[in-house]
Structure 1
Amino acid sequence: MPDVLGWRAVFGVMGPSTNTVVQPDFEMLRPPGITAHYSRIFTPNAKAISNDSFRSGISLIGDNTLEAVRSVMTCEPDHLIMGMSAVTFFDGAAGADRFIRQVEEASGIGVTIGSHACTAALRAYPGVRRIAFLSPYWPVMNAEVARYFTDMGFSVVRERALQCSSWTAIARVTPAELVPVLQALDGDDVDAIVQVGTNLSMVRLAAAAELFFGKPVIAINAATWWHALRSRGIADRVSGFGRLLEEF
């Protein structure tokens, strides 16, 4: 018998314990009959993050991920979602594939990750080759993101690292602060703009920017949730959060 509330699918989501955005974002996008259940990856709230400390902090989150996987598997989900994106970009496409293998070997079920979800989202739109992206990360991590997208066949024209000072500070970046960043990234030489970093709230702003710029603007939380739904054969269209969820 199916789960009474999650009669179509039960998702298990792994997210950093400092992340306050990905869970409400996914809830906004959730069709009836789908439930999502969160397993917190223990993450000390690093203060005064720098280029030097960012990578070690992300590595710690990666090391703690499989424990969160084991925890959420006790609710018997149908599919897993990685609600943190940085670790899925490390070491390019090969690193993303390796991360998927590790999680699937530990869980025995499929997993959606942010990096490959963004690639699938970009490929859903015809003719996207040249991209720009923004993140709450530091330059050392943006280099990994650029490497990943290059491995996947995209040309990275421009990028911006917001260099947030702590993990929780990411959730305090306002849409008003992000508008000029998007404007600086856009141009005739860019086919699409991507936002990475799941604790950066951008699903609504990305949808508005897509209308204004007349090109795809992909928020990673929207892309990740979309990918998880489609991976389970759930074709519901969710309006108000951009073309990806409305059309593809």
Structure 2
Amino acid sequence: MTDRCPLAQRLLMGVVVPATNVTTEAEMDDLRPRGVINATARIANPDARVAGDADAAAVRAAMVGGLMGALDTLAPARPDHVAIGVMVENFVGGGAAGDALLAEAAARIGCPVTAPTHATLAALAALGVTRIALLTPFFPAGDAAAKAFLEQAGIDVLRVVGLRAPGPAAIAHVPLDRLRDAVRDLDGPDVQAVVQVGTNLPFAGVARAAEAELGKPVLATNPVTYWHALRRAGIGERIAGAGRLFALA
């Protein structure tokens, strides 16, 4: 495209989130560099009650069913890159199935896509981290999917705290004090970093403060995803005050 939107001279970043997600847009907008626009599309998903793994599986199925439709609503904006604000591996089991879903998404939208778990692996590699503790908003099956994806990539997951949020919208309402307490429960001399997954969890601010307190990386999924998407799209500038990851060249 030769003519660009004046506000997106550097990059038009598509962002895809579930309809129940009110966190990803805000946390990514806080990191938006000059000359970058974030254009958001929403996956139609119900705010169903989640009392266990079976309920969570039904919610995930609805989300993955709506992913391609959300990409279709974003396509007319012609994004240069898309950050997918959902943990697609949690939907489909990770590994080859997760990679296939991301490849289908990229083909559908016609540009590269970045997803949270692959972004997390890139962030851990950039920081030289191989031993982590993991925070999720999920029930045990979701915890296990996240842990398995990381361990299959060679990351040692030494502890997991799953918050068992009672529905997809409720994830955004977890009190910040509960998140701070979870970080302290997860931390220890045996872990090099604390990693959070679950894109509706409002963790970015907690992570920045915890990094200063603990003296080690604390990675929030939305900033991690946005960092990796920016880097893959050729924007590598440091962002002051955004944590260790954004301090890297």
Normalised to the residue count of structure 2, the TM-score between the two structures is 0.95
Q: Match of 1:47, SS?
A: coil
Amino acid at match of 1:138: F
Tell me the CA shift for residue 145 of structure 1. Answer: 0.4
Alignment of 1:88-167 (within 5 A): 88-89=89-90, 90-126=92-128, 128-167=129-168
Identify unmatched segments of 5+ residues in structure 1.
Answer: none
Contact 2:193–2:217 at 8 Å: present in 1 too?
A: yes
Q: Match for residue 8 of structure 1?
A: 10
Q: How does 1:191-230 map to 2 (within 5 A)?
A: 191-230=192-231
Aligned equivalent of 2:39: 37
Question: What displacement does 1:185 show?
Answer: 0.6
**How many residue pairs end up in the alignment?**
246
Kindly state the Cα deviation for residue 176 of structure 1 after the two structures are TM-superposed. Answer: 0.9
What's the offset of the Cα at 1:66?
0.4
Counterparts of 1:151 and 1:60 in 2: how far apart (Å)? 26
In 2, Cα distance between the equivalents of 1:240 and 1:121? Answer: 17
Does residue 62 (structure 1) correspond to residue 64 (structure 2)? The answer is yes
In structure 1, C-alpha distance between the alignment counterparts of 2:24 and 2:62, rounded to whole Å:
19
Hey, what's the Cα distance between the residues in 2 that align with 1:148 and 1:95? 12
Structure 2 match to 1:237: 238
Map residues 176-187 of structure 1 onto 2, 5 A cutoff: 176-187=177-188
Distance in 2 separating the partners of 1:165 and 1:237: 37
Q: For 2:156 and 2:117, how far apart are their aligned partners in 1?
A: 15
Cα distance in 2 for residues equivalent to 1:163 and 1:149: 20
Fraction of identical pairs, as percent: 35
Task: Give the C-alpha shift of residue 168 in structure 1.
Answer: 1.3
Task: Work out whether 1:47 is the aligned partner of 2:24.
Answer: no
Match of 2:59, as an amino acid? Answer: G
Per-residue deviation, 1:186:
0.8
Using the alignment, how far apart are the partners of 1:132 and 1:93 within structure 2?
21
Query: TM-score, normalised on structure 1?
Result: 0.96
Deviation at 1:241, TM superposition (A): 2.1
Separation (CA, whole Å) in 1 of partners of 2:123 and 2:50? 33
Superposed displacement of residue 63, structure 1: 1.1
Q: Secondary structure at the match of 1:11?
A: strand
